[in-house]
Amino acid sequence: MDKSILNNYFHSLFPIQKETVMKITETFCDFTLDKNTTLLDKNTISTKTYFLEKGYVRSYILNEDNEIVTTNIYSAPCFVNDFLSFFKKQPTKEIYQTITDCSFWETSLENVQTNFHNISEFREFSRLLFVINYSKLNDRLIEMKSQKAETRYLNLLKQQPNIFQNVSLKIIASYLGITDSTLSRIRKEISKI
């Protein structure tokens, strides 16, 4: 499979030489998963990092009432992983599951560590990626505590409109921290405007 989307992702975040990117990604192997397949299960240790080339993945937990709570929705292209599990070799707390048929690239912790130690641009790229992911997580935490459900819905619709064509409303409602019926009501009220 062609690595152009994977390679272009590196270029999109950080100015890096084409040859350097090719060296970084030479150890990545491609694979596909069907819709509703577990990529990474709870209480396992992540031994690989995954680049989502095509499709949608969600991470979720089960709350005390055994209800599914979607913690994140990943849309290609992006890296998908429990990074604490991957780098610290500790069990995951979430389940990562494909929402659609997906195409991935994967590489091992050993390969990532080799790149970290030998390619300075990779270290800078990785730092930037961690900052971006932290910023998204922090923004989401603030939004969940400070915004009404309708505002969160409108922000998601504006920032990631394709999610609504590829992800069920049940998953989107869970991600927004609301019930299916609340999401239906919000969508109905907005359509009247």
Distance CA 83, CA 131 (A): 13
Would the pTM of this model clear 0.85, i.e. be above it?
yes
Q: Domain map of the chain by residue range?
A: 4-145, 147-193
Q: Is the separation of the CB atoms in 1 and 106 below 8 Å?
A: no
Distance CA 22, CA 3 (A): 9
Could you list the pLDDT tens digit for every one of the 193 residues in the chain? 789 999 999 988 888 899 999 999 999 999 999 999 999 999 999 999 999 999 999 999 999 999 999 999 999 999 999 988 998 999 999 999 999 999 999 999 999 999 999 999 998 998 998 899 899 999 999 999 999 999 999 999 999 999 999 999 999 999 999 998 999 899 888 877 6
Regarding the domain delimited by 4-145, which CATH topology (the fold level of the hierarchy) does it fall under?
Answer: Jelly Rolls (2.60.120)
